[in-house]
Amino acid sequence: PVCIEFYTSGRCPRRGPHGQACMYRHVLKDDPNKVDQNAPTGTAAAKVADRVKPRIPADWVSKSSRRHPLVDTKVDGDKLASIAERVAERISSMQAQREVRRKAENAAEEAVAAAKIEQAQAALDAADAAEAEAQAEVRLCFF
């Protein structure tokens, strides 16, 4: 959020809890002479940062960056084509693996269904046999 008092008048009398600076952003309106009152210009940390920054050369590289250099981002057409081919091959192999896995799952489901059908058929056959025996006993009793 923007500090409205600073935005309109260029000054901000507000202070946050424990006497710290205003907690809102100090955005300049139109006047280039307005200054952010809460900018850390006179602090010791700002002075140290100002002294240290000019000493670091623009082409400075850390030791870890020298040990682990960045990969060259320039890729020629042949490398790009080979990368695209490898990606296409990988995608097609993944699709083939998915298809094989799907077929195996379907075969397993069919095998389970066939086993359930066989069990149900065996149960029906056993029930039919028991019913036939019961009918035979009933006939014996009446004759």
* Structure confidence by residue, pLDDT tens digits, 100-137: 999 999 999 999 999 999 999 999 999 999 888 888 77
pLDDT band at residue 41 using 50, 70 and 90 as cut-offs: low
Q: Print the SS3 string covering the chain.
A: CECHHHHHHCCCCCCCHHHCCCCCECCCCCCCCCCCCCCCCCCHHHHHHHHHHHHCCCCCCCHHHHHCCCCCCCCCHHHHHHHHHHHHHHHHHHHHHHHHHHHHHHHHHHHHHHHHHHHHHHHHHHHHHHHHHHHHHHHHHHC
> Which pLDDT does position 47 carry in this prediction?
66
Q: What is the mean pLDDT of the chain?
A: 76
> Which pLDDT does position 132 carry in this prediction?
86
> Which pLDDT does position 5 carry in this prediction?
79
The whole-angstrom separation of Cα 60 and Cα 14 is 42
The whole-angstrom separation of Cα 119 and Cα 115 is 6
